[in-house]
Amino acid sequence: MPEVKHRMIQTNGIRLHVAEQGEGPLVILCHGFPECWYSWRHQLGALAKASFHAVAPDLRGYGRSDRPEEVEKYTILHDIGDTVGLVDALGAKQAVIAGHDFGAAIAWQAALLRPDRFKGVIAMSPPFRPRAFGASSAPPTTLMPRNENAVFYQLFLQTPEADVGLGRDLRRTFRSQFYALSGDRPPSEGGGFAGGMMPRTGRLLPDPPSLPPWITESDINVYVDAFTRSGFRGPLAWWRNIDRGWELLAAFDGMTVTIPALYMAGERDFVVGAFQQAISQQRSFQSSGQRSCCRAADIGPSRNALRTSAPP
């Protein structure tokens, strides 16, 4: 089986770094926040072995990909344009698109808007939501919960404190998130952003004494190196465009996903708790016979388990 190859691809006016493996029908894998192509390292080999051409880009602003200076160039429509451009650049007519975390939001909307280019969608963690961020009558951020002690995580990621807190100690940031947001953290320990809420004061996540068995210090080094290169400005800019992305998608409100769709989430994923209503409603936004759903017990956000565990 061929090894993972790396190259830069011109798409949608920028250059994306991609890792790719295998030959056959194209599968594009969109990582989450704060991650990079490496989160799909096991799936690249598994898909290649199954005779697919698996491609995992560093999304715009991440890793070795270009990082536009303007914050407004990080909307969800920019990312959809990037993925469509990848399909073209890779010489394919269509692809299956898979995503986790905000990569799932990109995958869902790409499937909705371009069923001519994407023939299947796999989403992990966030459910489908109209206009990507919800069919509300007001900008999404105005409806996100907050109180004197905590704030919804998507609001926190738009603040200057997010840049400082996440970038202060990169090794601690990644060791903490891969443990605290996983199914390996005992519920009795607290933390984990119950209901998607983050404390306004104190450390974001605890620093674990040791890592879970499915991730190593060498793996952590890859993420540290990637964000030493890119910083958090581009990755956080996506969250700072939530309201703008919602506004830009107004014309597509009410559309349904017409291609085959698979949704997966861990039972201990805090995103599941935060978006229960959207999860219960998402079938109404998918064509009959074109959907499937899977829950995995004792698993946190899929960044920590479904995607970093080696395939059987």
pLDDT in tens, 69-122: 999 999 999 999 999 999 999 999 999 999 999 999 999 999 999 999 999 999
- C-alpha distances (whole Å) from 7 to each of 36, 68, 128, 215 are 14, 19, 31, 25
Side-chain-facing half-sphere of 214: CA atoms under 13 Å: 20
Q: What is the pTM of this model?
A: 0.93
Each residue's pLDDT tens digit, 30-53: 999 999 999 999 999 999 999 999
Q: Please tell me the distance from the alpha carbon of residue 22 to that of residue 48, in angstroms, as a whole number.
A: 4
Each residue's pLDDT tens digit, 113-163: 999 999 999 999 999 999 999 988 899 999 999 999 899 999 999 999 999
Q: Cβ(128)–Cβ(278) under 8 Å?
A: yes
Q: Cβ(245)–Cβ(275) under 8 Å?
A: no
- Domains defined along the chain, listed by start: 5-296 (3.40.50.1820)
Letter for the amino acid at 291?
R
**SS3 for 295?**
strand
Buried b (16+ CB within 10 A) or exposed e, 88-105: eebeeebbbbbbbbbbbb
pLDDT of residue 244: 98
- Residue of 95, 5, 102 whose CA lies nearest to 61: 102
Q: Cβ(75)–Cβ(241) under 8 Å?
A: yes
Residue 58: pLDDT above 70?
yes
Q: Is 186 exposed, middle or buried (0-12, 13-18, 19+ CB in 10 A)?
A: exposed
